[in-house]
Structure 1
Amino acid sequence: MPSETPAPRLIPAHPHRAEITVVNSRFIASLAPAFNVEEARAFIAQIKGEFADATHNVPVFVIGHGQSIIEHCHDDGEPSGTAGRPALAVLRGSGLGDVVAVVTRYFGGTQLGKGGLVRAYGDAIRAGLETLPRAEKIATQTVMLSLAYAWYEQVRRVIDAHHGQMLDEDFAGDITLTVRFRMGEVAGFQTALTELTHGTLRGEV
């Protein structure tokens, strides 16, 4: 039975920024891809450094997709539950994964109240998401195989037929290849390789 190709997962294509104004307060949403907590925290530190004079820099992130995610939010001095949590709720509802955002606020002189803050921080994230370029994150798998020189050209054709990306070629006593495939291509590649070499070659995953 052929293996199913995992559905593409959406992530930010690159860092992006949007701004809204609410009763003279500026809310600047900065978003970026982040594939682990360290990358997310580095982006947050970068934005806090860029907007060091801001009244608040509210960070949120969602790392991973589906059932395997790490989430974080912080109010950064705003009343508890009025900034990070509503921003995270909007980010979570977007369907994106591996995304970090910081909402920067420059106070405009008028208190917004708790309800106003909840709306403003959520709306800032929405504004960023509306124009955010998206990309697909597709699950991949790396395969290594060792083969005699006589098999090289034929095996390369099988790799190309299954859209493999060559990561490394080591021409020593035998040839060692390191190839990246989309998850849905690995089983088909292994089958084709077995048929070609009558079972004498199989990639190590």
Structure 2
Amino acid sequence: MQGKLQFRRCSLDIFFQKKVKVTPGEQSEGSFKEKRSEFIAVLAPVSSVDHVTQALKRFRKKYHSASHICWAYCINVDESLIENSSDGGEPAGTA
């Protein structure tokens, strides 16, 4: 779809019930421009909250002029799910 990125949220319960673990093999990036804004998506493999912190530092340095950096992670540790997210200060209902 030109000019738009679409993300679907799926229930991870199905993956964990079946013991299926989905982890990106490598970092991948995509972007699109809408009006005067550029939206950049980055998917990166992480295995701990510390890896997330390190990745966010790299992204903030690389995209230092970004107005907002929204992020989310979902990590499976010993069959427990650790997840968190931030809208990066986006106006309510937009991120």
TM-score (norm 1): 0.34
State the partner residue of 2:42.
Answer: 30
Offset at 1:81? 4.5
> Can you give the 5+ residue segments of structure 1 that lack an aligned partner in the other structure?
1-5, 84-205
Q: Deviations over 1:78-136 (max 9, x none)?
A: 113432xxxxxxxxxxxxxxxxxxxxxxxxxxxxxxxxxxxxxxxxxxxxxxxxxxxxx
Aligned letter for 2:30? A
- Quick check: 1:21–1:27 contact (8 Å CA) kept in 2? yes
Offset at 1:57? 1.2
**3-state SS, counterpart of residue 60 of structure 1:** strand
CA change 1:20–1:7 in 2 (3 A) is same
State the partner residue of 1:80.
Answer: 92
Offset at 1:32? 0.5
Aligned letter for 1:44? L
Aligned letter for 2:53? R
- Quick check: 1:75–1:81 contact (8 Å CA) kept in 2? no
Deviant stretches of 4+, over 3 Å: none
- Indicate whether 1:9 and 2:11 are aligned: no
Offset at 1:7? 4.2
> Can you give the 5+ residue segments of structure 2 that lack an aligned partner in the other structure?
1-17
Count residues in correspondence.
77
Aligned letter for 1:71? E
Q: Deviations over 1:125-175 (max 9, x none)?
A: xxxxxxxxxxxxxxxxxxxxxxxxxxxxxxxxxxxxxxxxxxxxxxxxxxx
- Indicate whether 1:59 and 2:64 are aligned: no
RMSD over equivalenced CA pairs, Å: 2.0
Higher relative contact order (CA 8 A, sep 6+): 1
- Quick check: 1:34–1:40 contact (8 Å CA) kept in 2? yes
For 1:81 and 1:31, how far apart are their aligned partners in 2? 22
Offset at 1:34? 0.5
Q: Which has more radius of gyration? A: 1
Higher share of residues assigned helix: 1
